[in-house]
Structure 1
Amino acid sequence: MGLTRDFFIALSKNQLLNTGAKKWGLKLGASKVVAGTDIDSMMKSVKELNANGIGATIDNLGEFVYSKEEALHAKENILATLEAIQQRGVTAHMSIKLTQIGLDVDYKFCLENMREIVEAAARYAIFINIDMEDYSHLQQTMDILHELLKEYDNVGTVIQSYLYRSEKDLENLQNARLRLVKGAYKEIAEVSYQSKQDIDANFLKLIKIRLQQPGFTSIATHDHHIIDAVKKFVRENQIPRGRFEFQMLYGFRTDMQKELADEGFAFTTYVPFGQDWYGYYMRRLAERPQNINLALKSMVSK
Structure 2
Amino acid sequence: MEPLRSLILAAADSEAIRRAVATAPGTRGIVNRFVAGESVPDALRAVRALSRDGLRATLDYLGENTSDPEVTEHTVRTYLRLLDALHAEGLTADAEVSVKLSALTVGWDEELALRNVGRICAAADRCGTTVTVDMEDHTTTDATLRTVDRVRREFPATGAVLQSYLHRTPDDAAALAYPGSRIRLCKGAYAEPAEAAFPDAHEIDLGYVRCANILLEKGAYAMFATHDPRLIPLLRERVRSYGREPGDHEYQMLYGVRPDEQRRLATEGETVRVYVPFGEQWYGYLMRRLAERPANTALFLRALVSRS
1:146 aligns with 2:149: yes
Residue in 2 that maps onto 1:172 = 175
Per the alignment, residue 17 of structure 1 pairs with: 14
Deviation at 1:233, TM superposition (A): 1.6
Contact 2:177 2:214 in 1 (8 A): no
Paired with 2:23 and 2:273, the residues of 1 have a C-alpha distance of 23
Which residue, 172, 192, 201 being the options, matches 1:196? 201
Q: 8 Å contact 1:55–1:267 — kept in the other structure? A: yes
Q: 1:154 to 1:23 in 2, by over 3 A?
A: farther
Contact 2:166 2:196 in 1 (8 A): yes
Deviations 1:65-104 (A, max 9, x none): 1021111111101111111111111110000001111152
Aligned to 1:70: 71
Between the aligned partners of 2:152 and 2:33, the Cα distance in structure 1 is: 35
1: CA distance, partners of 2:265 / 2:53:
11
Aligned sequence identity (%): 32
Query: Aligned partners of 1:155, 1:51: CA distance in 2, in Å?
Result: 26
Contact kept in structure 2, 1:118 and 1:154, CA below 8 Å: no
1:132 aligns with 2:129: no
> Deviations 1:161-205 (Å, cap 9, x if unpaired)?
000111111122123211000001010000100011111111111
**Farther off after superposition, 148-157 or 74-83:** 148-157
1:108-140 Cα distance to aligned partner (Å, 9 max, x none): 112111111111111112110001111122111
Check the 8 A contact 1:218/1:244 in 2, yes or no: yes
2:80 is paired with a residue of what secondary structure? Answer: helix
The CA deviation at 1:239 is 1.6
Match of residue 4 from structure 1: 4
Deviation string 1:237-274 (CA, Å, 9 cap, x unpaired) is: 32212221011000000100000000000110001111
Equivalent residue for 1:291, pick from 283, 294, 300: 300
Match of 2:253 among 227, 248, 260: 248
Number of equivalent positions: 293
| Deviation of 1:22 (Å) | 8.2
Say if 2:59 is the partner of 1:58.
Answer: yes
TM-score (norm 2): 0.88
How far apart are 1:23 and its partner, in Å?
9.9
Unaligned runs of 5+ in 2: none
* TM-aligned CA deviation for residue 20 of structure 1: 7.9
Cα 1:64–1:49 shift into 2, 3 Å: same
| 2:102 maps to amino acid | T
> Which SS does the other structure have where 1:270 is aligned?
strand
**1:96-135 counterparts in 2 under 5 A?**
96-102=99-105, 104-135=107-138
Deviation at 1:292, TM superposition (A): 4.3
Q: Is the contact between residue 5 and residue 289 of structure 1 (CA under 8 Å) also seen in structure 2?
A: no
Correspondence 1:224 to 2:229? yes
Q: Give the C-alpha shift of residue 214 in structure 1.
A: 2.0
Q: Using a 3 Å threshold, how does the CA distance of structure 1 residues 217 and 43 change in structure 2: closer, same or farther? A: same
> Quick check: 1:161–1:206 contact (8 Å CA) kept in 2?
yes
Measured after TM superposition, the shift of residue 33 of structure 1 is 0.2
Change (3 A) 1:93 1:280: same
How many angstroms does 1:24 deviate by? 6.6
| One-letter amino acid of the counterpart of residue 258, structure 1 | R
The SS at the match of 2:66 is: coil
Distance change >3 Å, CA 125–CA 23, structure 1 → 2: farther
Whether the aligned pair in 2 keeps the contact of 1:180 and 1:218 (CA below 8 Å) is yes
Letter in 2 for 1:291: F
Q: 1:125 to 1:68 in 2, by over 3 A?
A: same
1:163 alignment partner in structure 2 = 166
Return the letter of the residue paired with 1:33: F
Corresponding position of 1:259: 264
Letter in 2 for 1:75: V
What's the Cα RMSD here?
A: 2.3
Q: CA deviation at 1:283?
A: 3.2
